[in-house]
Amino acid sequence: MNLLAIETSCDETSAALLREEVDGTRLGSCVILSQDVHRIFGGVVPELASRAHLATLGPVVDQALVEAGLRLEQLDAVAVTAGPGLVGALLVGVMYAKTLARRLRIPLIGVHHLEGHLFAPTLERHDLAPPFVALLVSGGHTMLLDVGEWGHYVLLGETRDDAAGEAFDKVAALLGLAYPGGPEIERLAAQRKSDRFRFPRPMLHTANQPGPEQYTFSFSGLKTAVRRAVEQSADLTRDRPDLARAFQDAALEVLVEKAAAAIEATGYSTLVLGGGVACNLALCHAAQSRLTGQARVVVASNRLNTDNAAMIGAAGLFRLRRGESSGPDLEPRADLPFPGLARDRTPQGITP
């Protein structure tokens, strides 16, 4: 089976070709075109994102087909991000996919963006299989999941305000850094000269306290603490690397400790990191160090952690194997429910 996948949920226009073969799924191509125009505004402008997708999706799909050595007529299915995301941006991808599926008379499958992030590591780690704990951290989402089996997930906890990636972007703006802020914060944090700054670890104390807040995150207070430190700085140029490192240390410690608590509660031996913030090497190293002897840490390459169509294709193939498909009434939703997600916040754990 040759599957074309399309991703247009935010500010990356992406298309990928996946081939399902006897010995597994092979990635034929993955083209990602980032929209640099948003750097001017320090964040994504929805209207500009939609217009950019309209202008570039066709050429991006064409390039993905060329790199995979395929023609449109050789496609057997189309998968597309149906949500969550920016509605206008999602609409471009969904309409393109619906039109193509109807023209070629092939199955169409709408995919949840976050389920795509869950499946991303499987494109490189074919041995990855549930059960495992997943920490999904991006510009729009921060959540801990108990993945007992593919298609059935338990939400352990999520952020009550800013997502982790959003906090990185906002702190970067406070420090006068470029958008997106995650890579800029990580780069600057590596240049730290002193430990003069230390910021609060929001809700860290609940990580070892079973209850409704054990796996809950909050980053708005941390962001406020950084803003106050910036306002009080007598020399921001001097202090900028130390402030970036202090913020990064605080944010990552909370993420890692909450994930470690979930590993201990479930008894699972694998932690999966997914989403754009998983590109942060300091996060990966901190998780690996914290879980040494307890669990392995699995993370996809940076190309597959940022928004991309390959991960949407991987999740789409899973859904198609289960006999699922979408009809011509498929519509994008900014608040698309996560399929198979239970919100009882009780770890399933390993059955004795």
Residue-level pLDDT at 352 = 43
Amino acid at position 112, single letter: H
Q: Quick one: average pLDDT of 80-89?
A: 97
User: Which CATH number is correct for 2-119+305-342, 3.30.56.10, 3.40.50.2300, 3.30.420.40, 1.10.3720.10?
Assistant: 3.30.420.40
Strands (E) located in the chain = 2-7, 12-21, 24-34, 77-83, 108-112, 132-137, 142-149, 152-158, 270-274, 296-299, 341-342
CA dihedral in degrees (62, 78, 92, 184; nearest 10)?
A: -80
For the chain, the average pLDDT equals 94
Per-residue model confidence (pLDDT) at position 43: 78
Mean pLDDT (whole number) for 110-116: 98
Flag whether pLDDT at 351 surpasses 90: no
Predicted confidence (pLDDT) per residue in 330-339, tens digit: 999 999 999 9
- Rounded-to-integer distance, Cα 14 and Cα 59, Å: 10
What's the whole-model pTM score? Answer: 0.94
Residue 337: DSSP 8-state:
P
Give the pLDDT score at 42. Answer: 78
Cis status of the peptide bond prior to 337, with omega within 30 of 0: no
Q: Where are the domains of the chain?
A: 2-119+305-342, 130-299
Specify the fold of 130-299: Nucleotidyltransferase; domain 5 (3.30.420)
What span, in angstroms and rounded, lies between the C-alpha atoms of 326 and 121?
Answer: 25
Average of per-residue pLDDT across 214-219: 96
pLDDT score for 124: 95
**Fold agreement (2-119+305-342, 130-299):** yes
3-state class of 44 per DSSP? coil
Percent of the chain with pLDDT over 90: 88
pLDDT at 35: 79
Per-residue pLDDT averaged across 141-159, rounded?
Answer: 96
The predicted-structure confidence for 302-318, as pLDDT tens digits, reads as follows: 999 999 999 999 999 99
Q: Tell me what the mean pLDDT of segment 106-127 comes to.
A: 96
| Ranges 35-39, 90-94, 299-303: which has the least confidence | 35-39
